[in-house]
Chain A
């Protein structure tokens, strides 16, 4: 215990303003109690309109059939599966922050893990929509589960990567939701105890399951949190591995490659962190929580983007090298066609967004500039969407037999469905930041003393009186 009071000069405080414990509750609870800002309403209006557009488009598509898409016999997978892989990938950064950084004891994650996990859930929901509508007859979607039926029973094909996907995505969603909820329970109790009697208090009472903050429960809770983090870590790696196997187990040149699992996982984390950056920069701007989500958080995420972007760039290079080195002329043709064929524009968008643009983050000035980070995060998101488009469409449109070559262009319906998925994602996220504690109150309190004098007791409940906090306390009491 003695060294609790030692402060390493290497440790920068994680929370940039000195705050009291109650001050942290005030910051996050106050945020939930304030009326939404004009900016929030504007963002919500845009997101909800896009969602409405998406709902309308998908309804039309289901009533009419997937003939409304630009698919043909050569290019049977295009926009829809691109969007699926894109959204699943986005989700992965949330799990990386909540589980992997937890196991590595990266304490800076505490300010962003709650919203990153929420992002995971919403992204997986968006992803799930696409295979569902791609079935054409979504009302038969339950056929993908091995339920006892009167056709034999005839079971699903357990050897198919598409079925592995069903299990991977549904497990991923369930475990992420459980992890997220378990993390939320103590904070829901904090909110419950701050609210004055009313409907909202009743709702939070039910949701917080009667949490009291008992040390016996906390000890068990820590064990559970560790277990879930340990389970979510291999799970997140398995999910994108299995998604990549949808392609890698086929015989199509450009898909049939063993590099896909690590390549897809790195790409997923890369794109996911770009999306977390986008969301956090927006959240900082509209919520005034700059002292909790600090410049340092943004910089750390930028560093992870450099690493994963580097892995992605290396994978692009390796693919090209192996295409040449393998001696397979189909493989070679596919890659030369990617870079110089009719979809070369998409390929070079991908390379410039994913390989070249993240290199700018080596410069500390750009890494610490919010505007530069915001622009780069959007650029990377665009690039990673194109990566999936390039992999899927360019490999399919010219495969073995020139007589079966074709081309592909999306229809309005497909573009609107993509926009609709962004609408769904941002609508859910904007509702989340209003309805629930957007930052993990309990976890931030536990790192409040980090890097400050007298670590363990560094967060006194009553320091120099903060009139605002005192007023809130009185009000609540």
Chain B
């Protein structure tokens, strides 16, 4: 079955049409907007992103490896007496542990975001016209019912796309 691309002039119309399409049981493929439209993910019925778990795991890994490395290098690899402090002087290792927690969490989150969204240099983008400027586009499974619903919902253009 083909897909239908409906263009809207503002976010309110897009939100209404998306919610209506979902209620009518029309399969929603994707939407394209010039900015993050709040409430659109609920209207489309998207699941919450699992990126937070990546962030948490990476942060934990960063913390464990930073603390582990500092303890290992100062107790096992080359114990060095600095001002009579204990070799495993945990409080002094906290700042670097913290920094590496943040660094690995941030880098891993960003990396997985780009990976999951398949965004990379050289990728050919073919967004519907003007969606990065001022148009809001909803792509749904094409059917007579969908056409009627979106037209009634204020779509300024309807176009079948493959």
Instruction: Enumerate chain A interface residues (CB-CB to B < 8 A).
Output: 1, 4, 20-22, 25, 146, 152-155, 157-159, 161, 163-164, 167-168, 171, 174-175, 178-179, 182, 185-186, 189-190, 192-194, 205-224, 227-228, 231-232, 234-235, 238, 242, 245, 442-443, 445-446, 454, 456-457, 459-462
Contact = CB atoms under 8 A, between A and B. Distances in A.
B159 interface: no
Contacts of A21: 34, 133-134
Contact of B113 (A146, A221, A462): A221
Q: Which 6 A-B pairs have CB atoms at the shortest separation, nearest pair first?
A: A210-B123, A457-B12, A21-B134, A215-B31, A212-B127, A209-B119
B109 interface: yes
Interface string B101-125: 0110111011001101111111111
Contacts of A460: 9-10
A214 B70 CA distance: 43
Nearest to B105: A231
Given A171-B102, A231-B106, 10 more contacts: A152-B78, A174-B103, A178-B107, A192-B125, A193-B130, A210-B124, A215-B44, A220-B116, A221-B117, A235-B102
B21 interface: no
Given A190-B34, A193-B130, A457-B12, A219 B49 contact: yes
A220 B92 contact: no
B77 to A, nearest CB: 7
A376 B73 CA distance: 50
B102 A234 contact: yes
Interface of B: 9-13, 15, 30-41, 44, 46, 48-49, 51-52, 55, 69-70, 73-74, 77-78, 80, 82-83, 85, 89, 92-93, 95-96, 98-100, 102-103, 105-107, 109-110, 113-114, 116-127, 130-135
B110 A224 contact: yes
A185 B95 contact: no
A217 B106 contact: no
17 contacts: A1-B39, A22-B133, A158-B73, A159-B85, A189-B127, A206-B121, A207-B121, A209-B121, A211-B132, A213-B34, A214-B31, A214-B117, A218-B33, A218-B40, A231-B109, A446-B36, A456-B12
Interface centre among B13, B70, B92, by most A CB within 10 Å? B92
A238 B46 contact: no
B161 to A, nearest CB: 14
- Interface SS of A by simple majority: helix
Contacts of B82: 157, 159
Nearest to A4: B12
A216 B46 contact: yes
Contacts of B116: 220
A163 B73 CA distance: 15
A461 B78 contact: no
Contact of A221 (B36, B106, B123): B36
Nearest to B74: A158
Contacts of B99: 164, 167-168, 171, 235, 238
A167 B32 contact: no
Given A213-B131, A221-B36, A223-B51, A238 B98 contact: yes
A470 B136 CA distance: 18
Contacts of A234: 98, 102
Nearest to B127: A212
A171 B96 CA distance: 10
B109 A459 contact: no
Nearest to A151: B78
A107 to B, nearest CB: 12
Interface centre among B34, B92, B109, by most A CB within 10 Å? B34
A212 B125 contact: yes
A25 B133 contact: yes
B35 A445 contact: yes
B128 to A, nearest CB: 8
A218 B37 contact: yes
Nearest to A22: B134
Contacts of B122: 206, 210
Contact of A155 (B74, B92, B133): B74
A279 B89 CA distance: 44
Interface centre among B32, B38, B41, B106, by most A CB within 10 Å? B106
Contacts of B85: 159
A174 B107 contact: yes
A21 B106 CA distance: 31
Contacts of A182: 110, 113
Given A189-B125, A206-B121, A442-B34, A154 B78 contact: yes
